[in-house]
């Protein structure tokens, strides 16, 4: 099950209101995959190997015109946070499908015309993402993600960011300087509360009301990771979180072959322990988070909705909070002489000047902006920034040469008044 964001309203619906809308240039997406490399992931490996290249092909082509400018990094869940920079697989394809410039991530820009890797994007990604099963049995995927995001040169200020966790156990991120847990059950006892109590060491369940223990000193609170990620981007709605893991319920305790307590699998096959903490993190992002179960025949199918969610975010309308309007059909162009709007382009602290309004009757060329009636926005109005020309008669592609794109550029839209 995956959920995608709805366009947020910007500014009050008032005739004299001001609304500011900063937006990064479309088409830049940084993606971080956090993949479980514990021995318990062995049953998942064949499915993962078959599904990941399919997903990358979907990601490169869903919801937008051409491949976006992509950066893709892979880190294991063992907690170190170092991006994988060389293939771990013995597949002969991986001898050539590898990174060429020494940076620890894949990059494809210019609609796929300039790449820092040899071979196809799907093959290069698969070769990095097959991380094996020799990592820590006690995974810390949240700590790994936080450390990996600090990799110099990986994140771009104006790019959207997508984080995708793939694991069959829950997060066991411990505070810095502490030793790993002795078992995943010890992690659960320290990190989970069910009905405000730690899971018992005797067989029981299913237990209800299981959540992260946010006051434990033995495990990093989920809220700290939510807060960190939520403030990683200067603008809201530019980060997506996705999880492929076992369901958080049912949550039950059983005994292993040695008679020691362990968490029961919450789904099968191939099986996985309840991802309570990880699901809580995804839930902290509301409609900007997506979850799907790891217990599926094909992860390509499972990852498809996640891709659609990311694409929906990158292509959602640019809703502008302006004053009340009479009822207009979707796609109707709002006469720019009826509004007091300016669109300023900036790069860093430098102003690049203002953009002219599109002619409401259309124009064959030129960079311009337009306001369009759009029922998907609470305000009823969305903005278009066109690269070269505007055709109001074309509902599917009103910007003749696509949306305006200029690397590392921000557009600020200010509509001071909009009266009937």
Q: What is the chain's mean pLDDT, rounded?
A: 84
DSSP 44: G
Say what the pLDDT of residue 304 is.
65
Nearest residue to 72 via CA among 156, 195, 13, 190: 156
Say what the pLDDT of residue 10 is.
35
Region 153-176 average pLDDT: 91
Rg (CA), the chain: 24
pLDDT band at 18 (very low <50, low <70, confident <90, very high): very low
Region 383-399 average pLDDT: 87
Say what the pLDDT of residue 288 is.
82
> What are the structure tokens assigned to 117, written together?
């890797």
pLDDT band at 248 (very low <50, low <70, confident <90, very high): very high
Q: Show me where the domains of the chain are located.
A: 26-315, 318-418
Region 360-368 average pLDDT: 92
Say what the pLDDT of residue 22 is.
47
Looking at per-residue pLDDT, the higher value among 66 and 303 belongs to: 303
pLDDT at 388 over 80: yes
* Residues 309 and 3: beta-carbon distance below 8 Å: yes
Region 45-70 average pLDDT: 74
Sheet strand arrangement including 204-207: 204-207, 251-255, 261-263
Say what the pLDDT of residue 65 is.
53
pLDDT at 91 over 90: no
SS3 at position 354: strand
pLDDT at 60 over 90: no
pLDDT band at 159 (very low <50, low <70, confident <90, very high): confident
d(CA 263, CA 252): 6
For residue 361, give Cα distances in angstroms to 358, 370, 398: 8, 11, 11
Say what the pLDDT of residue 278 is.
98
Say what the pLDDT of residue 382 is.
84
Contacting residues for 1 by C-beta, under 8 A, at least 6 apart:
291, 292, 305
- Reduced 3-state DSSP string for 216-237: CCCCCCHHHHHHHHHCCCCCCC
Say what the pLDDT of residue 62 is.
57
Say what the pLDDT of residue 376 is.
73
pLDDT at 209 over 90: yes
* Residues 286 and 305: beta-carbon distance below 8 Å: no
Say what the pLDDT of residue 40 is.
92
> What are the structure tokens assigned to 73, written together?
């990094």
pLDDT band at 27 (very low <50, low <70, confident <90, very high): low
The CATH topology of domain 26-315 is Rossmann fold (3.40.50)
pLDDT at 381 over 60: yes
d(CA 187, CA 171): 8
Region 195-220 average pLDDT: 96
d(CA 389, CA 367): 6
pLDDT at 407 over 70: no
């Amino acid at each position: 099950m995956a959920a995608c964001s709805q366009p947020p309203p910007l500014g009050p619906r008032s005739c004299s209101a001001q609304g500011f809308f900063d937006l990064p240039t479309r088409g830049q997406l940084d993606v971080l995959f956090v993949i479980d490399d514990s021995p318990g992931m062995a049953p998942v490996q064949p499915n993962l190997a078959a599904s990941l290249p399919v997903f990358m092909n979907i990601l490169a082509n869903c919801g937008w015109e051409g491949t976006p400018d992509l950066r893709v990094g892979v880190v294991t869940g063992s907690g170190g946070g170092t991006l994988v920079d060389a293939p771990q697989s013995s597949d002969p394809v991986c001898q050539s499908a590898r990174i060429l410039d020494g940076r620890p991530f894949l990059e494809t820009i210019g609609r796929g015309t300039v790449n820092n890797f040899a071979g196809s994007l799907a093959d290069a990604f698969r070769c990095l993402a097959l991380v094996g099963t020799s990592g820590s049995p006690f995974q810390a995927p949240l700590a790994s993600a936080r450390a990996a995001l600090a990799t110099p040169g990986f994140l771009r200020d104006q790019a959207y960011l997508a984080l995708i966790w793939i694991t069959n156990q829950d997060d066991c991120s411990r505070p810095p300087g502490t030793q790993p847990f002795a078992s995943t059950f010890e992690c659960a006892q320290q990190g989970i509360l069910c009905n405000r109590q730690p899971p018992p060491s005797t067989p029981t369940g299913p237990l209800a009301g299981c959540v992260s223990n946010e006051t434990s000193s033995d495990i990093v609170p989920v809220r700290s990771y939510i807060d960190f990620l939520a403030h990683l981007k200067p603008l809201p709605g530019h980060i997506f979180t996705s999880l492929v893991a076992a369901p958080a319920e049912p949550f039950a305790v059983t005994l292993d072959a040695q008679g020691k307590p362990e968490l029961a699998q919450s789904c099968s096959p191939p099986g996985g322990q309840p991802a309570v903490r990880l699901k809580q993190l995804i839930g902290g992002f509301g409609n900007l988070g997506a979850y799907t179960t790891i217990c599926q025949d094909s992860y390509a199918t499972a990852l498809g909705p996640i891709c659609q969610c990311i694409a929906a975010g990158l292509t959602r309308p640019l809703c502008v909070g302006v004053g009340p309007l009479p009822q207009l059909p979707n796609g109707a162009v709002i006469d720019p002489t009826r509004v007091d709007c300016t669109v300023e382009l900036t790069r860093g602290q430098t102003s690049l000047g203002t953009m002219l309004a599109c002619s409401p009757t259309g124009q064959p060329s030129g960079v311009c902006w337009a306001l369009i009636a759009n029922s998907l926005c609470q305000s009823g109005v969305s903005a278009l920034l066109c690269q070269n020309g505007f055709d109001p008669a074309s509902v599917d592609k009103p910007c003749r040469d696509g949306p305006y794109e200029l690397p590392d550029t921000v557009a600020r839209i200010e509509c001071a008044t909009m009266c009937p």
